Amino acid sequence: MIEKIKEKNVWDSLRDTELPIVIYGMGNGADMIIDRLQELGIEFADIFASDEFVRGHSFRGKKVLRYDEVCEKYGEFVIVMAFAVHDEKMLSRVKELSSRHALFFPNVPIVDDGLFTREYIEAHDEEFDRAYSRLADDFSKKSFIDVLNFKVSGKTEYLFGCEKEKSDVYSEYLKLQDEEIMMDLGAYDGDTVREFLSAVDGRYRKIYAVEADPKNYKKLTSFAEEVDNIETFNMAVWNEKTTLHFEKKKGRNSKLSQNGKIEIPADSVDNILGGREITFLKADIEGSEEKALDGAADTIKKYKPKLYICAYHRNSDMFILPHKIISLCPDYKIHFCHHPYLPAWESNFYCTTE
């Protein structure tokens, strides 16, 4: 696999540049990237934000500037993006900025298991090769390589070059029918259930929606009042019945942590369903996808549901998850897609037996 990775590490590119490095964005993402830069001895010059967020305040000891102020101050500079982007307007803005400046989007892992580098790929070369060989179509293979090159280099053109709309995945790969039974692990506020309802034009048999975060679960249950034949569960998903500890984070995510103060009951898919059928299983559970697959082994082997498994929380997701899926059911055809999102979040495996 390493021979397909043409780029050098983003951190090496930043270390080697002679131009001033300017961080675009504030908050948790900027903190994580600045911490990494400092650990690596890489200096940054300034921070800027979108004009509507600039109010004369400071972040990490530097006054937050507007883009035009950075241009006036430096002329030529390197932009390091420090916040996630998925709406069309901001994606267009990133494309525009990358046409004017060297722009990097460092891939800082959601679950902190180290930086994703060329050295990481080389250390797991055979595992990446095996995952790549199991992909069922050329677009999936191209997307897989593009995402790896992005994770190493931080260059956004790799992600822009392999985007696929979610609606196309439902129509081309998953091909959902009128009698589907969906189980949504990490249901958040019902966003994926909404996708599902649109894909099946409102015709289905049953929905099971599981969400661990109490605040998100409240949103989910409010949405569920408008949905027929939906059963909701306020719990985490694991490979067995247990209690997990979470550390609350801003936004939609909570982080699994041994030191977390929030106790959440957890159980396996097999236990939750108790032998009942599902035809479509989605998992977006903050790095617990492998555990969830282990806990769904009986259900997967018996019913072979279509799978939608997120592959961007852990560095190892891109090779461990397809291996796990095939070990449970060798009949699966595995597709890999990245959807419009920066950094490489919304990069998922989609699996069917058809």
Q: Give the C-alpha separation, 160 to 10, whole Å.
A: 17
Token pair 């994926």: residue:
192
The region of weakest confidence among 241-245, 246-250, 272-276 is 246-250
Triad 323, 327, 333: Cα angle to 5° = 70
Q: What confidence category does residue 108 fall into, taking pLDDT thresholds of 50, 70 and 90?
A: confident
pLDDT of 258: 59
Is this prediction's pTM over 0.85? yes
Tokens (6 digits) for 56: 């004369």
Token pair 């979470």: residue:
246
Q: Is the CB of residue 245 less than 8 Å from the CB of residue 261?
A: yes
pLDDT in tens, 192-235: 999 999 999 999 999 999 999 999 999 999 999 999 999 999 99
Q: Is pLDDT of 115 > 80? A: yes
User: Please, what is the average pLDDT of the chain?
Assistant: 94
Rg (CA), the chain: 21
Q: What confidence category does residue 148 fall into, taking pLDDT thresholds of 50, 70 and 90?
A: very high
The residue ranges of DSSP E strands in 201-287, in sequence order, are 206-210, 230-233, 236-237, 242-248, 254-256, 262-267, 280-283
pLDDT of 246: 76
Tokens (6 digits) for 34: 């600045």
DSSP class of residue 53?
G
